Structure 1
């Protein structure tokens, strides 16, 4: 009997091993990530492009609940309410199958240079081990696909690439949805179907109340964005605050921010 693992079995083993290695290093005090963390998350990297000082205050002081955060959490839960829970083993097997598979809320991780990146992707469309479309859903009154949205999607793409999945034809999708539409549970499938029908090409779509943007994933762009962010996590530099005073005014950490108090 052959001891060769199938592709999905190998991927599952590598993911579990990477997770355990990262946790063990943290427990033994051997992690080289700032604040002794085992990995750097995609969402944190995206937040660095909004205000790195805010990221640091969050890690130092903890989460400060806000209505906006809670609305965003509730909206994502509503959007994925129709998702069918499955085991990682079954999901990974489907990823390599001939059928189109839409993975929602998928936990992904991979090494990047000397660190581990981790994230939970809103949705990815796979077929035959190839990542075709990566979806990032944002709830905002503004229709603008802000830079941080792009960064987060590109980090997810780089993680998928690091997992050994085929990203040669990957496109990432930013769907900006008005908060008033957060309870429309069918909107997820409507957006995914519209993007797949449109095909893998850079485009802008209006899907119901959502503004949907499709872009080709470029590995070198992702590496550039990640490299800048990881300089902070390696403690090679201090946190860089935003220069936009409007961000400071709405920040839940403004009363604890020395940068804000000096401005």
Structure 2
């Protein structure tokens, strides 16, 4: 596959920073959150409240640091041989010739989500959207994250080709989970995204995890009123 380094977009958006919630932008007049938050939501919603609503910052875990290092290394290698292209050029060209890109930015103002796809394969017959994760377990939270990338991509392109969501073991070629982005799955992820907006708008309460193992390993436990030693 050809390697395309997507560096810009033909469409421009009206973007403002949210006045009080860290990480939230207001795009086309609607709150817009990073898609990666869906992974955090599945782990513990209250963690989102502590980090972004209260603005508590902590030191990254060794696992986070290691993951970022691998991610940056792959991105550097990719850019060495990739050809610059706009998002629209890459999508259109892929209808004839398969290509792949890393760190592909997608945004869907209609649904209030945005994020960077780790890797995307654009083929004449299908689009495969890949998110790299440690381990080989497809958790609901990680599946929701890559499904939201699919939704944002589809919203940007009105894509008629088959879209697939995939999880890959970080640092390997192992796609350990893959599914077709069906209308039923699209409906489910829209529901999850709406819940996130309800949390951020103050219409719904942040529910803490009931898993004590998650609490013990949480980097925010010292700031959490729900943590029980």
Write the distance in 2 (CA, Å) between the matches of 1:149 and 1:54. Answer: 16
Say whether the 8 Å CA contact 1:125–1:134 is kept in structure 2: yes
- 2:28 is aligned to none
Find the partner of 1:137 among 132, 142, 160. 132
Partner SS state of residue 170, structure 1: strand
Task: Please tell me whether residue 213 in structure 1 is matched to residue 194 in structure 2.
Answer: no
Name stretches of at least 5 consecutive residues in structure 2 with no aligned partner: 1-7, 26-31
Q: Deviations over 1:129-183 (max 9, x none)?
A: x76101111113xx31111110100110111111124054111111134xxxx4x
Find the partner of 2:103 among 96, 102, 105. 105
- 1:12 is aligned to 9
Write the distance in 2 (CA, Å) between the matches of 1:137 and 1:253. Answer: 24
- 2:78 is aligned to 83
Greater helix fraction, Structure 1 or Structure 2: 1
Write the distance in 1 (CA, Å) between the matches of 2:99 and 2:165. Answer: 16
User: Size of the alignment, in residue pairs?
Assistant: 207
Say whether the 8 Å CA contact 1:104–1:124 is kept in structure 2: yes
Q: Deviations over 1:195-230 (max 9, x none)?
A: xxxxxxxxxxxxxxx362111113212212212222
What TM-score does the superposition give when structure 2 sets the normalisation length? 0.80
Partner SS state of residue 92, structure 1: helix
What's the Cα RMSD here? 2.5
Find the partner of 2:199 among 224, 227, 232. 232
* Deviation of the 1:46 alpha carbon: 2.0
Q: Deviations over 1:52-100 (max 9, x none)?
A: 11122122212432211101111222333421255452x5312211211
What TM-score does the superposition give when structure 1 sets the normalisation length? 0.70
Larger radius of gyration: 1
Greater strand fraction, Structure 1 or Structure 2: 2
Task: Please tell me whether residue 118 in structure 1 is matched to residue 114 in structure 2.
Answer: yes
Name stretches of at least 5 consecutive residues in structure 1 with no aligned partner: 1-10, 192-209
* Deviation of the 1:34 alpha carbon: 4.8
Instruction: Give runs of aligned pairs for residues 34-53 of structure 1, distance below 5 A.
Output: 34=21, 37-38=24-25, 39-53=32-46
- Change beyond 3 A, Cα 1:118–1:236: same
Superposition misfits of 4+ residues, deviation over 6 angstroms: none
- Change beyond 3 A, Cα 1:54–1:86: farther
